[in-house]
Amino acid sequence: MSKFVVRAFGVSIDGYAAGPSQTLENPLGVGGMGLHGWFFPTRTFQQASGHGGGTGGTTGSDDDFAKRSFENIGAWIIGRNMFGPVRGPWPDESWKGWWGEEPPYHTDVFVLTHHARAKLSMKGGTTFHFVTDGIQAAAERASAAAKGKDVRLGGGVATIQQFLRAGKIDEMHLAISPSLLGSGERLFADDIDMVKLGFRCTEHVATEKAMHVVLRRG
């Protein structure tokens, strides 16, 4: 049976997982890219993105967590804001995501949206499916597509919160960045009680660029 997991999810010291004012120039909001300063230099990211020929990048604990974040993933679920900055009904199908012609997922990706759109197949085995009937339908479809592997919840914040409230997340890896955003999208809303949801901290590792915290339920 598939587990639903959150991995490599950046959070600021003051609890924000995205900055304000998402735009094409600031896909994670103002200051949001800084939450992933631990991730971008890693060998795992450099290989996945093809930067530097895919041969460079840092090793160590940050890279270990980056590598783990992609292991045993059979499908993804993301919110519409994670797919792109387009709001309301799709004006056309020209927007194909932030990632170019070959997104880094290489699996089926289920995008939560209120507006229907035909599925989108990309290079490298990524297919985006646009789900208009809520998180339960997305969870069922993603679990079937994963074929026993894990389903990774890529965000954004609203998507993670919906799945937490529904009790559907089994494991979370948060990378707490030594930075402050001041405003934006706060991960843990007042009505989300992680203790009552059954989570406990099972691992924490500090590096120069992040505090890695693993929370598991049960």
Tens-digit pLDDT profile for residues 87-130: 899 999 999 999 999 999 999 999 999 999 999 999 999 999 99
What pLDDT band is residue 51 in, cutting at 50, 70 and 90?
low
Structural domain includes residue 92: no
Structural domain includes residue 164: yes
pTM: 0.95
Domain holding 206, by residue range, is 4-85+102-217
Q: Helices 134-146 & 157-165, crossing angle to 10 degrees?
A: 90
Structural domain includes residue 122: yes
Show the DSSP H helices in 69-213 as ranges: 80-83, 134-146, 157-165
Q: Tell me the C-alpha distance between 81 and 194, whole Å.
A: 24
pLDDT at residue number 136 = 98
Side-chain-side CA neighbours of residue 21 (13 Å):
7
Which of 13-17, 73-77, 81-85, 108-112 has the lowest average pLDDT?
81-85
Query: How many helices (H) and strands (E) are present in the chain, helices listed first?
Result: 5, 11
Structural domain includes residue 180: yes
Residue 3: name the closest of 153, 150, 217 by CA. Answer: 150
Give me the CATH number covering residue 45. Answer: 3.40.430.10
Average pLDDT of the segment spanning 15-35: 91
| pLDDT exceeds 80 at position 50 | no
Structural domain includes residue 97: no
pLDDT at residue number 196 = 97
Structural domain includes residue 64: yes
Structural domain includes residue 96: no
Element (H, E) at 44: helix 43-49
| Token pair 């890693």 in the structure block, residue | 42
Total domains in the chain come to: 1
Structural domain includes residue 212: yes
pLDDT at residue number 53 = 56
| pLDDT exceeds 60 at position 52 | no
| pLDDT exceeds 60 at position 182 | yes
